[in-house]
Every structure is written in structure tokens, then in C-alpha cells.
Structure 1
Amino acid sequence: MAAEREKPMPDAEVNAWLQKNLPKWRLEDGWIRRTYKTSGWKGTLMVINTVGHLAEVAWHHPDITASYAWVEVRLMTHTAKGITDKDLELAKKIEDVVHWQPGKEEGALEGTPHGDQRFAYIKYD
């Protein structure tokens, strides 16, 4: 029995959801997109690997473009030919993990040292 195809959400609904939940993401050319700025190639690879791991576990695969100090993530449900809940949920998980800063939370995990470029990772917005 074939799974029912997901129906794409209207652009206005996607834009409203993004504005409320993920204001750094945008809807453009049928994709939701986010560019993460990094501190260099090491950080870029770490973001790519993080996104790849989350996408594979979710069984939903983004398009990724990268350069030395940035990564662009694009999500769309190909079978629906548009944006669905799958895209929004994966975008939220990516955002939560990539922007996690344990040093700003209570607990044993202190986060990377501040001010030392050897440990620079992502440029948090």
C-alpha cells in the first residue's frame, strides 16, 4: 500500500510559521533556506556533518551548499514538490542543534573557549 503523498503548505502559512518559530530561515524559490556563518573550514565541515546526521536520522534530505566560512541549507519535500511539516520539523531540529551553546546553560558542559580562534566554530546570530 503506497503512502499518501504529502500536500505542500501554502506560502503564507510557511512564511507565518517561519516568522514565529525560525526567523533566520526564509522561503525562497520553493525551498526554506538558512545560511550559517562559520569561523572557517573546520566549522563549515562540522555544520555540514551535523545537518547530514540529522537529515539521515529523519530520512529527509536537504540540499547543502558550502564555502570556506558558510553553509546554506535548503529543505523541500521532493515528493510533495513543496514545503511540508517534514521540512519545518527538520529545520527546527537543525537550528536547535547547530545553535546550541552549552556554555550559556547551567550544567557540566561548558562550551568552547571564548576569544580563542583555535576553538572558533560557528558565528552565532
Structure 2
Amino acid sequence: MKQQQILDARLSDWRKLIRALHARFLTGDFAKGLAFVTAVGKAAERAGHHPDVNLTYSFVDLKLISHDVSQVTQRDIDLARQISEIARAQGIESNPSGLAEIELALDSADLAAAGPFWAALLDGGFTGDDVVAPDGRLPSLWFQHTDAHETPRQRFHLDLWLPHDIAEERIAAAVAAGGRVVYDDEAPAFVVLADPEGNKACVCTFLNR
């Protein structure tokens, strides 16, 4: 599903991060969270489509993606709407600003050589430019194509995926904390930041990709 279709769906509780739709619902206590998850489970069974669920004491995180095609589809949009309706009926608010997803990025001049090693080490599937853990236990690993080089340089960096309407605020906070913007020509898709010692990280959104 294309980026504009996701935006046009106007899912106020949900944000697209790396590959999937994510939402955080503030349940406030474990019993209320369990009741919410139970209701979501019944809706998922009726739809024949199931979210990934993380139930904590004070909130429930949900993730929706169509695993058969490894992307967001209309099935995810439809179930996201149903879940939001359940939350509203139970008086539960969402907190999109609490969403984030970490991806590791590795500069590689020889992806064919490096990729299988990292896939084996992380017990993940190696497709395209990514190694993805099948059960979501570990961050995904993305290979950034680069020229071969001998001089020491930062090879690993973090990609911090944020809701598109939160990223600018987080970048400003990082700059206020002593960082600097290194590259923003392709914002809001990604902005490269550096800490005071020059270590880099990217703040990424799904827009303009």
C-alpha cells in the first residue's frame, strides 16, 4: 500500500514506521489492558487477520502488517479501524508520540558477502537489503550500500524510525542536547544527526520514500 493511501486512511491512533502500522493504547493497568487485548483478539479472529501484541502494565502496543506480502494492506487498515473503535468504546486513549522502532544500519561494499553472515548470526531472513528476525525479537538490520574504503569510519549506525508528526520535535531535542544536523536534504524521509563526538544516527519516517 502506498504512503498516500495510508495517510488518506486517517488512522489517528496509528503510525507507519519501518514496515508496519503501530499503535500504543494507554490502558492504565494490567486488568484493563487484558480486557482490551481480549476484545481485540475476538475482532482479529472474526477478521482472520491478527496483530502482534505487547501487553504491559500501563499500555498495550499493537503492530499490524500482512505477513504474506510483508507490507501494509487494506486488511491492516480495516483491522486498525476496528481496534480503534474498541479502544474508544472502552474509554482508552492512544499515544502515538510513544511509538518508535530501532533499525541497525551497516555500511557494506559487498552485500553478497556480508549479508549471509549477519542473517546466520541473527537467525533472520536475508531479503533485498535487509535481515529481518522472523519473530521480531531483534531489530532489523539494513545494509547501506557504500564504496569500499580502508580508512577507519563509523560502519554501524542507528536508524530511529518515528511517527512522521513526531520526528521534527525529537530532532530538535537531540540538537538542544548537544547534537547537530549533518544532512537533511532528504527530510522528512531521513535526517542524519551527529553527537558531540561525531557518531551519527538517522531519524527516519515513512514519508517521501
Fold agreement, TM-score > 0.5: yes
Please state whether the residue corresponding to 2:54 is helix, strand or coil.
strand
Segments ≥4 residues shifted beyond 6 Å: none
Distance 1:14 1:39 in 2: 29
After TM superposition, the score normalised by the length of structure 1 is 0.69
Structure with larger RCO (C-alpha < 8 A, sep 6+): 1
Q: Give identity over the alignment, percent.
A: 27
Letter in 2 for 1:124: E
Q: 1:51 aligns with which of 33, 36, 40?
A: 40
Residue aligning to 1:116: none
Distance 2:92 2:79 in 1: 21
User: Alpha carbons of 1:12 and 1:62: their partners in 2 closer, same or farther (altered >3 Å)?
Assistant: same
Contact persistence 1:15–1:27 (CA under 8 A): no
Residue aligning to 2:86: 97
Please state whether the residue corresponding to 2:93 is helix, strand or coil.
coil
Q: Give 1 or 2: higher strand fraction.
A: 2
Contact persistence 1:26–1:32 (CA under 8 A): yes
Map 1:32-47 to 2 at 5 A: 32-47=21-36
Q: Gaps (5+ residues) in structure 1?
A: 1-8, 102-121
Larger radius of gyration: 2
Map 1:58-77 to 2 at 5 A: 58-77=47-66
Letter in 2 for 1:75: L
Residue aligning to 2:77: 88
Contact persistence 1:50–1:98 (CA under 8 A): no
Residue aligning to 1:15: 7
Equivalent residue pairs, number: 94
Q: Give 1 or 2: higher helix fraction.
A: 1
Alpha-carbon shift at residue 123 of structure 1 (Å) = 4.1
RMSD: 1.5
Q: Gaps (5+ residues) in structure 2?
A: 95-209
1:78 is the counterpart of 2:67: yes
Contact persistence 1:65–1:72 (CA under 8 A): yes
